[in-house]
Amino acid sequence: MREYAVVIIGGGPAGLAAAVSAAEQGEKEILILERDSELGGILNQCIHNGFGLHTFQEELTGPEYAARYIEKVRQMGIPCLTDTMVLDISPEKIVTAVSPREGLFQIQAQAVILAMGCRERPRGALNLPGYRPAGIFTAGTAQRLVNVEGRMPGREVVILGSGDIGLIMARRMTLEGAKVKVVAELMPYSGGLKRNIVQCLEDYGIPLKLSHTVVNIHGKERLTGVTLAQVDGSGRPIPGTEEEYCCDTLLLSVGLIPENELSRGAGVELNPLTSGPVVDESFQTSTEGIFACGNVLHVHDLVDFVSEEAAGAGRHAVEYIRGKRGQDICGKHGQGTALAIVPGAGVRYTVPSILHPERMEETVKLRFRVRDVYRNCYVTVRAGEKQLLRRKKQILTPGEMEQAVIQAEALAAVLPQETITVSVEEV
Amino acid sequence: MYDVIIIGAGVSGCAVARELSRYRADICVLEREEDVCCGTSKANSGIVHAGFDAEPGSMKAKMNLEGSRRMKALAEELDFPFQQNGSLVVCTDGEQRDGLERLLERGQKNGVEGLEILEREELLRMEPNLSEQAAAALYAPTGGIVCPFGLTIALAENACENGVEFRFRTQVDTIEKTENGFRLTTPQGTFQARTIVNAAGVYADVFHNMVSRKKIHITPRKGEYQLLDKTAGRHVHSTIFTLPGRMGKGVLVTPTVHGNLLTGPTATDLEDREATDTTRTGLDTVTEKSAVTVKNIPYRQVITSFAGLRAHEDGDDFILGQPSDAPGFFDCAGIESPGLSSAPAIGSYLAGQIAEYLELERNPSFQPTRKGILDPAALEFSKRQELIQREPAYGRIICRCEGVSEGEILDALRRPLGAKSLDGVKRRIRAGMGRCQAGFCAPKVMELLVREGVCDWDTLTKAGGDSWLICGKNKDAIGKR
Amino acid sequence: MEKRILTCIGCPMGCELTVELKGSEVVSVSGYTCRRGKVYGEKEVTHPTRIVTTTVRVDGGAAPVVPVKTRGDIPKDKIFACIRALKNVTVQAPVRAGDTVLRDAAGTGVDVIALKDVGC
């Protein structure tokens, strides 16, 4: 069986950044396994700009952002196998994969980094009633057809969901010749960036209907229309508010789900709040030596944060191996106290959800999402009665991932039985 | 002039076709859709019923029992997935207890083997997720699950290999009696046959009534279902029924033969024979009623929902054979549950009658076996490795949710009666059937359909007809408005 | 005096900006919380610009299209002119990321470049 120090599952933004970071630590035996025929993952079909402001201080398109990392991977000589689907990862870190070139093969890894990304929620998961005609696509499928295959999936389009992919696709479909009639959003606010609402919808006169959803699908063979209705505070359609829209295409941008089927097989504990693995400050999962980063861990809105997180995972994976090899430079791996972090008022989840104060670096970045839109509020981090952090925020929205940086020394006084709570406090 | 024309390529029509291909005859199946298994046969529970439910002495009872007894051997012969997982009819309180006893008695009369009534404690050992109110159950070890597409396609392919002709997109409009048989008109031309098999599902009464004065009447009875991810597939192991009622067997909870969890169906009588849409009320009913027998069904893991129409005949039984005033016209009508379970028996029963009527001779070159699409995942490591070395397409995974390789999809396209659309591929090899519901693989399967010359980009469809997927290239419409 | 209402795109706050104009001169911007809002408001009403990203057909390539972008901002009202100009462009494979696929798109003085390599 072939052996590698670090095997990275996925050659998208997370996998690439993890690989580069692991190589920067001096690790030589790294292997990236990518299921598509090229590296870059979903960035290859995200041809809009707006990537990289944090990482490169410039605005790049998806393919350009990916190319920066692919270039580094090439320069560092990190081996990659494309067209390679990982079928199984065992808790002992034996990776089974298949590709047309290599056939079926197994690799023994010392550390595995999960970077498989996420998938879109399909129509079925929404349980939208009606017929099941052609013409209902997830926004990402349509994005691939248009941006990679150059083929139009429809002429007259309604979009359900105003997350960034839905908004971006409204503009892309328009610029390729389709008529986008409306974007409907179940929530009273859009999950997308303001910039995308202005530049993808308002620029093209596409209406955004907040607190609206699709309640019926028309057409038996190809979609002929949808019925939209307004929803009440709990998301239930209000009778009498139905409106018919003629369209041949419905694009769904209604949420992303981390793809953790392989993680489950590796015995990795999943967090029901994120649908991703439970990780500690080093991005290590409940299975020793298996790390996770990027959208397989939790769904991100900015690729820059994926890269940053993945770089952390790559670095920690190498540290883990060195600890194993008796070259533990940082002296951070070993037994110690594990503190649980739990989401408090207004917070949906945090990543990580476990901290090891003895093992961590000087600071740790807690990433979290809030449940609702909050204005003029405070983000606080507490351990029992002790306040570790309190920061004023003008606005928090569910669509934007937030972060709070905790100092290791602030954790020194936290008792093992105390849990750390991140919450939003309204003024 | 054909010896036999079979109207409808559902499971019954295909079963008759396959059994008739044991004889020397010119046989043609006319199907209005682009593929086999597009009507009732594609949207049902996929259950092979043990046979305790049907009225003793009825055709349903007879066909069900025989069909279910033959299913295992047929599955081996034709290489389709079938599993005998057993079934439980759960009663929830003392009052229903009598119903359970009556069902046991009826089952024994029908000749079902191994039936017994189990008490709550024993039940929970078998099925820990039964609801709190589950009191006792009738256990039928011979109950099973089958892939309805797998069964129908296997029958059709085998019939095709044995010389049966299939014409798709050919909807029969009228049937007239002629001197030597029947004349059928379709938009694709006129067809003549000495005998007709009327396996037209919810339309079978229409065709029957064209040739016979003894009218029958079919009501399309809608059943809505929810299908859950494979992560929920082990929530129950056997098929869990409630006590049957006036409208059928009620809402069941079952693993599918591919490892998903399926709940449904509802039962709503309709006029519209095409109303395969799901409804909010229907889906909510499935959720609510499934909870009567099984607790904590993880409905957050629903991956799709669908509806099918059962062909319910007023007489509440299968109508098989010739009406007295229309010799040569063989009904296969009113085939609702347990129609799938009965298909093997119905096929033989009608083929036998037709062979006798036409005095057909045996077909000496009849090939009874058919090989399904090769599943590389079922091979040993080294065998799979060898396969990929020989055919690298088996190493390229196209559908990540179901683990379907390019090699398998190519097989689905190239074999007899191969897939012509995305749904055709999905029903044959499950690409697009999984948790992402074709989000990732659809563009790749489209490319394969085009590359293989099955269609071009502009004639690509989801399921034939007007279910187009692509309308030209980027910017074709720019400057045209 | 003309009044224009805009949503600031600087951050998730989405401040509602009111810009007062006399002819093409900005007289005042109000409603912003930070300086970015003021700058955005002034620019957006006087000379709004956008980067355009889209696809161009490729002949003889491993992919049927290549993604492209305007190398810099172009006036917002030139977006569709730029798209129409790109409709008629077909590039020959191989294409290299950064290759110019259209010079001076729709008279904006801005070139359109490929975002990705496309091999033969």
* Contacts with B478 from chain C: Cβ below 8 Å: 83-84, 87
Q: How many residues does chain B have?
A: 481
Residue C98: inside a domain, yes or no?
yes
C69 CB neighbours in chain A (<8 A) are 47, 49, 61
* Residue A351 to residue B73: CA distance in whole angstroms: 53
For the segment(s) B2-358, the CATH number from 3.50.50.60, 3.40.50.12280, 2.40.50.180, 3.40.50.2300 is 3.50.50.60
| pLDDT tens digits in sequence order for chain A, 427 residues long | 999 999 999 999 999 999 999 999 999 999 999 999 999 999 999 999 999 988 999 999 999 999 999 999 999 999 999 999 999 999 999 999 999 999 999 999 999 999 999 999 999 888 889 999 999 999 999 999 999 999 999 999 999 999 999 999 999 999 999 999 999 999 999 989 889 999 999 999 999 999 999 999 999 999 999 999 999 999 999 999 999 999 999 999 999 999 999 999 999 999 999 999 999 999 999 999 999 999 999 999 999 999 999 999 999 999 999 987 654 444 444 557 889 999 999 999 999 999 998 888 899 999 999 999 999 999 999 998 899 999 999 999 998 999 999 998 888 888 888 999 999 998 7
Sign for the pseudo-dihedral over CA of A35, A36, A39, A43: negative
Query: Which of A37, A121, A143, A152 to substitute to test the interface with B, most B CBs within 10 Å?
Result: A152
Question: Minimal Cα distance from B442: which residue of A?
Answer: A141
Beta carbon pairs, A and C, within 8 Å = 74
Q: State phi, psi for B378 to the nearest 5 degrees.
A: -85, -5
CB contact under 8 A, C87 and B478: yes
- Say yes or no: C39 and C60 in one domain: no
Reference C55, options C66, C70, C46; nearest CA is C66
- Tell me the ipTM for this assembly: 0.94
Question: For chain B, what are the domain ranges?
Answer: 2-358, 376-459
The model's pTM? 0.95
**Whose CA is closest to A420, among A377, A379, A388, A392?**
A388
- Encoded tokens for A231: 């929803």
Hey, are the CB atoms on C54 and A176 less than 8 Å from each other?
A: yes
Domain end among A254, A277, A308: A254
Range of the structural domain that residue A241 is part of? 122-254
Residues A41/A117, Cβ–Cβ less than 8 Å = yes
Q: For residues A271 and A157, is the Cβ–Cβ distance under 8 A?
A: no
SS3 labels along A381-421: EEECCEEEEEEEEEEECCCCCEEEEEEHHHHCCCCCCCCEE
pLDDT digits 0-9 by tens, B413-439: 999 999 999 999 999 999 999 999 999
State how beta strands A94-99 and A85-89 pair.
Answer: antiparallel
The shortest C-alpha distance from A235 to chain B (Å) reads 14
The rounded distance, in Å, linking the Cα atoms of A296 and A266 is 14
Distances (CA, A) of C82 to A389, B50, C6, C44, C58: 50, 68, 25, 20, 18
DSSP B160-216: HHTT-EEE-S----EEEE-SSSEEEEETTEEEEEEEEEE--GGGHHHHHHHH-SS--
End-to-end Cα distance, chain B: 52
| Residue C41 belongs to domain spanning | 2-47
C26 with C63, same domain?
no
* Sequence-separated contacts (24+) of B441-444 with Cβ below 8 Å: B441/B398, B441/B399, B441/B400, B441/B401, B441/B404, B442/A137, B442/A141, B443/A141, B443/A144, B443/A145, B443/A148, B443/A149, B444/B398
Cβ C83–B478 below 8 Å, yes or no?
yes
pLDDT digits (tens, 9 = 90+) for B95-140: 688 899 999 999 999 999 999 999 999 999 999 999 999 999 999 9
* CB A352, CB A281: distance < 8 Å: yes
Q: Looking at the annotation, which residues of B are catalytic?
A: 49
CATH number, position A400: 2.60.40
- Token pair, residue A207, equals 């209406």
Asked if C72 and C107 sit in the same domain, the reply is yes
On whether both A345 and A396 belong to a single domain, the answer is yes
Distance (Å, whole) CA A62 – CA A70: 12
In DSSP terms, B311 is beta-bridged to B220
Which residues are CB-contacts of A370 (< 8 A; sequence separation ≥ 6)?
Answer: A346, A347, A348, A396, A397, A398, A402, A424
The string of pLDDT tens digits covering residues B177-225 is: 999 999 999 999 999 999 999 999 999 999 999 999 999 999 999 999 9
Handedness of CA A50, A53, A59, A64 (dihedral sign): negative
Distance to chain A for C14, nearest Cα, Å: 6
The dihedral built from the CA positions of residue A1, A7, B395 and B392, taken in this order, carries a sign that is negative
**Token pair for B20:** 């008739």
Residues C98 and C62 in one domain: yes
Residue C99 domain-assigned? Answer: yes
Is C119 part of any domain?
A: no
Number of domains in chain C: 2
Q: Are residue C63 and residue C102 in the same domain, yes or no? A: yes
Residue B480 has, within 13 A of its CA and on its CB side, a CA count of 12
- Decide if B370 contacts B79 (C-beta within 8 A): yes
d(CA B179, CA B176): 10
Q: Find chain C residues with C-beta within 8 A of A397's C-beta.
A: 12
Residue in A147, A199, A395 closest to C12 by CB: A395
Are the CB atoms for A128 and A226 separated by under 8 Å?
A: no
The single-letter code of the amino acid at B4 is V
Instruction: Identify whether residues C82 and C32 lie together within a single domain.
Output: no
